């Protein structure tokens, strides 16, 4: 216990120019010079994992460990730190934390591994903090995902660091002025003492404050004291993105060295190897420098990317045989059906159970059954996978856009046979990710190419490669049966599905008042590699569950909104969100012929979101004209940023619902570019209205992903209300040729 307490202490130190740095010290003996070089220069700093520094010019810099991929994390986390520090927002800046092994995110690890430890009593908090910092370091947990940045690092680390720095500044001023600490006021990056008339900037006391004791668990503000939190402050990353100075992965350059470019093509069937290539035509093309058979992919290195890609397009390759060579989408669907048939009414792995669901269905006045299907879905980030790499002298340096810089570092080190300390990952802005950049396949590819060539290489995937070599949202099939009594009350709920990814509980219906529930999984092998796509399993399960609830409402002869509201009698926060979105949409008011509304509600990543979609039939095809969204995330730190994330989730969810579908033929993905894998375009995007409820400031929910899950069922439920056609298989537009 004492060991972890010591390792979990919070401290402060001085950087060049007298800058105050506040952070969490992991353990004694860390290589401090490495941290100094990454966040500042010069002697004097004795701490690691610093989250905030204050310079002599009174600039407050929040050092943020999460990446910025358009979700506004840098602004929101700086906002939370600055509020607890009582800083002048006009003097606040953000710095991307370096991927040096010290800037792990222990609170994210705690949220997903041991949530019970997050709100620990003050006396044991340092122990838990030290323990999970060590766990995070061992697991390379410097990650942006799970809609976790604000609700974990922001709510705990950033707010705590800001509050601690404020305490130290006040203590330093009180000591120098010879007055009680309680008489010193900290506000807008200024310290003042009313009685004596003395005042100074934070920057003037930065060095003195670094010598003050830092509280391990400083008191945090009550919501009534917030000055910046809860305000729609302007995004700090937007000016650079508007004037073009922002650097994304594709903008990377190697200082002082000329770049070559690589285009790559991996084996089309997962697990296959490149057995032979015919590159005669490619070798004669302008600018081509090297053609590499890397075993699992082919690479062409040239003076320019276009030259490399055009040469690659001429190469003929043969591949080894795999078990998946003959698999197509119909065969995969049959595999899923076989697993579900074998599970029957009670087989498979039980995930949730209360009461006797099978017995409840036998005694029901009406039994409703349905089967739903979703295909594989690709991430399709606008910035395709890319990485710039240099390997020399037994060391590797990469410049890339990644959600997991430390995991990428370890993966590169393993692939090259060097130590992680010999790999440097430079984190840049992400031009979209949606979970795809949680994988490290593309940085590893770039590092291997750079090692093989001996010079710096910028590797860029074509859109076709990006589509065909993704880690997809899994295809899935889900079967439901439910029983209703004579009055339309749900007596039992029985559900079995094939795939299970993350997070746990996405399939649950605990918020609905159903006395007997059985939820099971009938595992079936997949062929394609799969990963996390925005909202992960909530994306599929939201569609499955809320579509089937809608079917039950109609089977009961009840309004879908009223039916849900009656099931939420014991879930007041869900009920409040549902009622508010219905009011926003004018639920029940008359609509033109061929136009209807659909409603759905899903809780994911700690946030309850209800959406109403208004759909009209245009020339026999559905048009999503308006979407209303209401969310309860506990407390919204930046309303403008939160609304943007809800809107983004809805638009992305519309693409996955209306168009997205990866199909297989002879084991390979058939789709390639946006002509065969279309996205929702600007002229198709609906008007979106977002509102939120601040219901519980003690526990925050996420924003990046929760807007997605309700949109597919809301749209499909609206289509049913307008046409009588029940969509049980996505994508929607496959039903409207």
Query: pLDDT confidence of 216, banded at 50, 70, 90?
Result: confident
Q: Tell the burial category of 737 from Cβ atoms under 10 Å away from its Cβ (0-12, 13-18, 19+).
A: exposed
pLDDT tens readout for residues 124-171: 777 777 777 777 888 888 999 999 999 999 998 899 889 988 999 999
The 3-class SS string of 247-301 reads CEHHHCCCCCCCCEEEEEEECCCCCCCEEEEECHHHHCCCCEEEEEECCCEEEEE
Does residue 447 lie within any of the structural domains?
Answer: yes
* Residue 29 in this model has a pLDDT that exceeds 70: no
Among 425, 460, 495, the domain-final residue is 460
Domain range for 305: 249-322+385-460
d(CA 649, CA 654): 8
Together in a domain, 121 and 179: yes
At residue 669 the predicted structure's pLDDT band, cuts being 50, 70 and 90, is very high
User: Cα(555)–Cα(563) distance, rounded to whole angstroms?
Assistant: 11
Q: Are residues 571 and 517 in the same domain?
A: yes
Percent of the chain with pLDDT over 70: 93
Pick from 117, 106, 122: nearest CA to 219? 122
pLDDT at 146: 93
* Residues 87 and 47 placed together within one structural domain of the fold: yes
Distance CA 214, CA 500 (A): 45
Q: Is the pTM of this model over 0.85?
A: yes
- Is 382 or 502 the better-scoring residue by pLDDT? 382
- Residues near 222 by beta carbon (within 8 Å), at least 6 away in sequence: none
Per-residue model confidence (pLDDT) at position 1: 26
pLDDT in tens, 415-425: 999 999 999 99
Are 262 and 128 part of one and the same domain? Answer: no
How would residue 13 be classed by pLDDT, with cut points 50, 70 and 90?
very low
What average pLDDT is seen over the chain? 91
Q: Which residue has the higher pLDDT, 620 or 54?
A: 620
Is residue 109 included in any domain, yes or no? yes
Instruction: For the chain, give the percent of residues with pLDDT over 90.
Output: 79
C-alpha pair distances (Å), 513 with each of 316, 508, 518, 572: 59, 12, 14, 12
User: Both 307 and 276 in a single domain?
Assistant: yes
pLDDT higher for 343 or 525?
343
Sheet holding 687-692, edge to edge: 595-604, 607-618, 621-632, 687-692
Q: Indicate whether 225 and 203 sit together in one domain.
A: yes
Q: Which residue has better confidence, 33 or 429?
A: 429
- What does the pLDDT look like over 430-449, one tens digit per residue? 999 999 999 999 999 999 99
CA angle 374, 378, 380 (to 5 degrees): 140
Whole-number Cα distances in Å, 260 to 291, 301, 427 = 13, 7, 20
Assess whether pLDDT exceeds 60 at residue 453: yes
pLDDT of 577-616, one tens digit each? 999 999 999 999 999 999 999 999 999 999 999 999 999 9
Residue 699: per-residue pLDDT: 85
In a domain, residue 518? The reply is: yes
Q: Residue 114 has what pLDDT?
A: 79
Q: Are residues 309 and 237 in the same domain?
A: no
Assess whether 90 and 210 both reside in one domain. Answer: yes
Exposure class string for 123-136: b at 16+ Cβ within 10 A, else e: ebbbbbbbbbbbbb
Q: Is the pLDDT of residue 704 over 80?
A: yes
Tokens standing for residue 305: 């990317």
Q: How far apart are CA 545 and CA 601, in angstroms?
A: 10
Rounded to whole angstroms, how far apart are CA atoms 539 and 518? 21
Residue 339, domain member (yes or no): yes
Q: How confident is the model at residue 20 (pLDDT cuts 50, 70, 90)?
A: low
Domain-located, residue 465:
no
Q: How far apart are CA 151 and CA 165, in angstroms?
A: 21
- Chain-centre distance for alpha carbon 669: 25
In a domain, 399, yes or no: yes
Burial of 227 (0-12, 13-18, 19+ CB in 10 A): middle
Q: Where does the pLDDT of residue 485 fall: very low under 50, low under 70, confident under 90, or very high at 90 and above?
A: very high
Is 43 in the same domain as 105?
Answer: yes
pLDDT band at 39; cut points 50, 70, 90: low
Residues 566/569/575/580 CA torsion (nearest 10 deg): 60
Answer yes or no: do 204 and 143 share one domain: yes
Mean pLDDT of all residues in 335-357: 96
Residues 637, 488 share a domain:
yes
Assign residue 351 the CATH number of its domain.
Answer: 3.30.365.10
Which range has the top average pLDDT, 205-214, 215-224, 301-310?
301-310
E strand or H helix at 582, and its extent? helix 572-585
pLDDT at 34: 54
Total tally of structural domains belonging to the chain = 3
Structure tokens at 721: 């209300």
Residue 466 lies in a domain: no
Do 57 and 107 belong together in one domain?
yes
CA distance 612 to 629: 7
Residue where a domain stops, chosen among 221, 243, 265: 243
Please list the alpha-helical segments (H only) found in 344-404.
Answer: 357-362
Cβ neighbors of 534 (< 8 A, separation 6 or more) are: 379, 434, 435, 649, 652, 653, 704, 705, 708
| Helix or strand run (H / E) with residue 641 | helix 639-658
Please state the rounded mean pLDDT for residues 263-291: 96
pLDDT at 27: 33
Q: Where does a domain end: 243, 268, 295?
A: 243
């Amino acid at each position: 216990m004492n060991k972890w307490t010591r390792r979990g202490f919070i401290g402060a130190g001085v950087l060049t120019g007298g800058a105050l740095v506040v952070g969490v010290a992991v353990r004694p003996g860390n290589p401090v010079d490495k941290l100094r070089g990454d966040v500042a220069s010069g002697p004097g700093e004795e701490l690691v994992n610093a989250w905030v520094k204050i310079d002599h010019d009174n600039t407050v810099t929040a050092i943020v460990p999460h990446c910025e991929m358009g979700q506004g994390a840098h602004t929101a986390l700086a906002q939370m730190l600055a509020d607890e520090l009582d800083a002048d927002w006009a003097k606040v800046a953000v710095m991307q934390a370096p991927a040096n092994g010290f800037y792990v995110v222990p609170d994210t690890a705690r949220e997903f591994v041991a949530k019970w430890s997050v709100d620990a009593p003050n006396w044991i908090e340092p122990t838990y903090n030290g323990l999970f910092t060590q766990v995070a370091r061992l697991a390379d947990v410097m990650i942006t995902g799970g809609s976790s940045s604000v609700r974990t690092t922001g709510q705990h680390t950033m707010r705590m660091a800001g509050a601690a720095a404020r305490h130290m500044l006040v203590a330093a001023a009180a000591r120098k002025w010879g007055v009680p600490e309680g008489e010193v006021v900290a506000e807008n990056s200024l310290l003042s003492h009313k009685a004596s008339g003395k005042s100074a900037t934070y920057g003037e006391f930065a060095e003195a404050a670094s010598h003050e004791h830092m509280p391990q668990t400083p008191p945090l503000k009550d919501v009534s004291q917030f000055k910046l939190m809860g305000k729609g402050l302007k995004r700090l990353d937007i000016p650079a993105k508007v004037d073009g100075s922002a650097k994304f992965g594709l903008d990377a350059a190697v200082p002082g060295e000329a770049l070559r470019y690589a285009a790559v093509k991996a084996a089309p069937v997962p697990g296959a190897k490149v057995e032979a290539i015919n590159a005669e035509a490619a070798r004669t093309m302008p600018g081509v420098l090297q053609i590499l058979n890397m075993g699992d992919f082919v690479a062409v290195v040239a003076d320019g990317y276009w030259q490399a890609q055009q040469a690659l397009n001429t190469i003929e390759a043969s591949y080894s045989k795999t078990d998946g060579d003959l698999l197509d989408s119909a065969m995969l669907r049959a595999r899923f059906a076989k697993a579900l048939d074998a599970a029957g009414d009670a087989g498979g792995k039980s995930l949730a159970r209360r009461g006797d669901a099978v017995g409840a269905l036998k005694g029901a006045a009406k039994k409703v059954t349905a089967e739903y299907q979703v295909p594989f879905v690709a991430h399709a980030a606008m910035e395709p996978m890319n990485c710039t790499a240099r390997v020399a002298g037994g060391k590797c340096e990469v410049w890339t856009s990644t959600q997991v810089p430390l995991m990428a570092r370890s993966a590169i080190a393993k692939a090259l046979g060097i130590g992680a300390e010999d790999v440097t990952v430079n984190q840049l802005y992400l031009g979209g990710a949606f979970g795809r950049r949680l994988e490290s396949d593309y940085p590893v590819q770039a590092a291997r190419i750079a090692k093989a060539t001996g010079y710096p290489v910028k590797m860029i995937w074509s859109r076709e490669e990006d589509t065909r070599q993704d880690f997809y949202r899994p295809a899935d099939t889900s079967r439901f049966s439910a029983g209703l009594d004579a009055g339309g009350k749900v007596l039992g709920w029985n559900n079995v599905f094939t795939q299970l990814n993350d997070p746990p509980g996405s399939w649950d219906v605990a918020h609905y008042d159903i006395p007997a529930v059985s939820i099971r999984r009938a595992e079936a092998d997949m062929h394609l590699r799969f990963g996390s796509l925005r909202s992960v399993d909530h994306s599929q399960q939201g569609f499955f569950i809320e579509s089937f609830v809608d079917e039950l409402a109609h089977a009961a002869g009840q309004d879908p909104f009223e039916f849900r509201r009656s099931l939420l009698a014991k879930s007041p926060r869900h009920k409040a969100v549902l009622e508010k979105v219905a009011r926003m949409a004018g639920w029940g008011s008359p609509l033109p012929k061929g136009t209807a509304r659909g409603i759905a509600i899903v809780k994911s990543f700690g946030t309850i979101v209800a959406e109403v979609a208004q759909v009209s039939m245009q020339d026999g095809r559905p048009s999503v004209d308006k979407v209303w969204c209401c969310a309860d995330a506990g407390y919204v730190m930046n309303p403008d940023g939160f609304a943007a994330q809800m809107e983004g989730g809805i638009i992305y969810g519309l693409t996955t619902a209306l168009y997205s579908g990866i199909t297989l033929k002879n084991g390979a993905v058939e789709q390639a570019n946006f002509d065969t894998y279309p996205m929702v375009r600007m002229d198709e995007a609906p008007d979106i209205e977002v509102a939120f409820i601040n219901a519980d400031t003690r526990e925050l929910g996420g924003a990046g992903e929760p807007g997605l899950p309700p949109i597919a069922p809301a749209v499909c439920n609206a289509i049913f209300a307008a046409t009588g056609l029940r969509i049980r298989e996505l994508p929607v537009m496959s039903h409207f040729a």
